[in-house]
Structure 1
């Protein structure tokens, strides 16, 4: 049978037309898919801007299904899950990213950082620590160290917190000397409770050398010296603290008065506290002066006279309540009721308030129980702020 070339020539245009139609259909399908993915993506962004997180999550899930290879969509979805408190779903999204072999190195580090944040928010501190340690040497190193620092503080692992703070200090991320001093004080307190006084002394002296202007190391050292029966030595340490940290005299003065009375050094302490009070009119310093003069054998002004003098310069309700406590009223039978009302009214004024979050407390904290900030409590009570 002879081969007919005419059939081939007639079939070529048909094959060309069929190929062209097939390519047009593929292009149309690809364009539709590309249009659908951005549309779902922008719809999710719109929901997110309008604080509609549920709808935003649904839109991003749709976008991920249309374009499963886009890492940005996964990051957006994972962050949304974390913000909503759905930490398990956030972890699954970021673990899926890390399992992908086509992910760039930078995106891998980014996913590792996001996974660490998921664990932190979920309270899985051990897993968070492992995830954050893997970020050493990446562009997320500084952020990871700060998160590690917060993690160690939360778990009260002061030794590791100190190591991380030293790394941050040496890398130029800011001054962490104050925090380092606190960490050393926390370790010293644990040792002192366990009866290891000498080791606690070493750490407190190291804290003083680390942050000479910080009041806490010297105050803690003075209390340790007092427990050991060295009241005179404690007085010297607290006197040094007043010179090193003049803004904390309100905290130091009561301790100094207590140790001066125990050591029989009332006149020396009185002289110092009177000079300090003349410059700041702190009510805590005034209370320390009153306590010292009450214990002194010398003839001095009474407590009421001191509070009256204070009222001449400072309109203090606390001082007024203390002054009237020793005043004989015309209707003395009502004095206890008046005094009780005044004492109740001044209670909020004698608290300490965190400058970072406003959390108020009866006692002074070095680290705020509310926001966990260090040294956020001024050494002055609410009335004097």
Structure 2
């Protein structure tokens, strides 16, 4: 059978022509798609740079409609919704992403994290907790555990918070020993309020062992011993506090005076307070020293305020010294004293180092920003 080369010569141009026509059609479609999606995308980006979020959302919605398979557009749109407080729309975008079967593992984990953030911002803590727990074993695990920790702290679920902190400590995701001690102290306070003093003491002793350098557990344990009528144990714990965390001794200075007076060991307590005051002058240490000396020699005790004024200017110390002085025009003394006390009162507050929130009492967790150990043991005037 003879092979006819004319068919080859005839077929080659036809095949070439069909291929060229098909490529042109594909290129035209690709160009049309690329014109629609990127144009809307870059329009949205431009609106974002100009802080026009409403127009940016409209542009991204248009881009998503033109190219529904692009995950980055969905993430951008969902994040915009969350930033604007439209949490329901953000949730719908991220749930739509998670429902797609063609989503890669990395994008699925990213969408799960974004969904958890939506629930957190919306205040849906139960749903946020469930979404965060699904991030175990993903690159977002550390962030998810920190968010869970914040949820349990906000809801005061201290056993759950302690479990998360223990797991993070075991995974070398940070040192959470001090925070675990706080959780134990919180549980001890609850037990103490219910009259379960022995259980509270056990929890506080566990807190001391968990974070020996943290002052709160020892201060709470000393207060518990004082409540139980054991002044000697109170003094022992406070002496340990002075060695382990001397900067926190001003927070327990008044308790030290009370326990020392009850145990008949005021001389030892006085020596301890003076030693720490000389090293680091503090108003609470000063008041405790004056309280101890005032029992036998009130006038000599008040000289401590003058000595403090020689070391550093203090309106608080001046007001307290003046309270016991006899003025030449004594009839004006009450008015002057009230004015000084009014002016010095804000200086006796504590201030959070993280957010600046001021309070009359010392907090271990700031009521404003929820930070732990952000309140120094010194008054505003001393900072």
User: TM range, normalised to the smaller chain?
Assistant: over 0.9
**2:308 aligns with one of 296, 307, 310:** 310
SS of the equivalent of 1:253 reads: helix
8 Å Cα contact 1:241-1:252 kept in structure 2: no
Partner of 2:294, secondary structure, is helix
What per-residue deviation string (whole Å, max 9, x for no partner) do you get for residues 8-48 of structure 1?
Answer: xx9xx999989976764553233122122112112212221
Deviation readout 1:94-136 (Å, 9 max, x if unpaired):
1111111110111111111111111111111111111111111
Residues 214 and 245 of structure 1 are in contact (CA less than 8 Å); yes or no, is this contact kept in structure 2?
Answer: yes
- 1:220-259 deviation digits (Å, cap 9, x = unpaired): 1111111111122111111211111011121121221122
Alpha-carbon separation, structure 2, partners of 1:245 and 1:336: 40
TM-score normalised by length of structure 1: 0.92
- Determine if contact 1:242/1:252 at 8 Å carries over to the other structure: no
1:250-301 CA-to-partner distances (Å, cap 9, x unmatched) read 1121221122122222111111111111111111101011112223xx4475
| TM-score, L = length of structure 2 | 0.93
Once the two structures are overlaid, the 10-residue window that deviates more, 191-200 or 310-319, is 191-200
1:172 corresponds in structure 2 to 172
In 2, the alpha carbon distance for the partners of 1:104 and 1:251 equals 55
**Superposed displacement of residue 381, structure 1:** 0.7
- Any gaps of 5 or more consecutive residues in structure 2? 1-9
CA distance in 2, matches of 1:72, 1:302: 75
Identify unmatched segments of 5+ residues in structure 1.
1-9
1:5 corresponding residue in structure 2: none
Which position in structure 1 is the counterpart of 2:122?
A: 122
**Partner of 1:127: helix, strand, or coil?**
helix
In 2 relative to 1, CA 243–343 (structure 1 residues): closer, same or farther, beyond 3 Å? same
- Distance, in Å, in 1 between the alignment partners of 2:376 and 2:249 is 11
Residue 366 of structure 1 is matched in structure 2 by 364
1:363-383 CA distances to partner (integer Å, 9 max, x unpaired)? 111011111111011110111
Root-mean-square deviation (CA), in Å? 2.2
Q: Is the 8 A contact 1:149 1:164 kept in 2?
A: yes
2:74 alignment partner in structure 1: 74
Instruction: Report the Cα distance in structure 1 between the residues aligned to 2:227 and 2:16, rounded to whole angstroms.
Output: 99
**Structure 1 segment 255-274 matched on structure 2, within 5 A:** 255-274=255-274
Q: For residue 371 of structure 1, give the secondary structure of its aligned residue in structure 2.
A: coil
Give the corresponding residue for 1:4: none
Aligned ranges 1:170-319 → 2 under 5 Å? 170-295=170-295, 298-299=296-297, 302-319=300-317
**Conserved 8 A contact 2:290-2:302:** no
Indicate conservation of the 8 Å contact 2:47/2:56, yes or no.
yes
State the number of aligned residues.
375
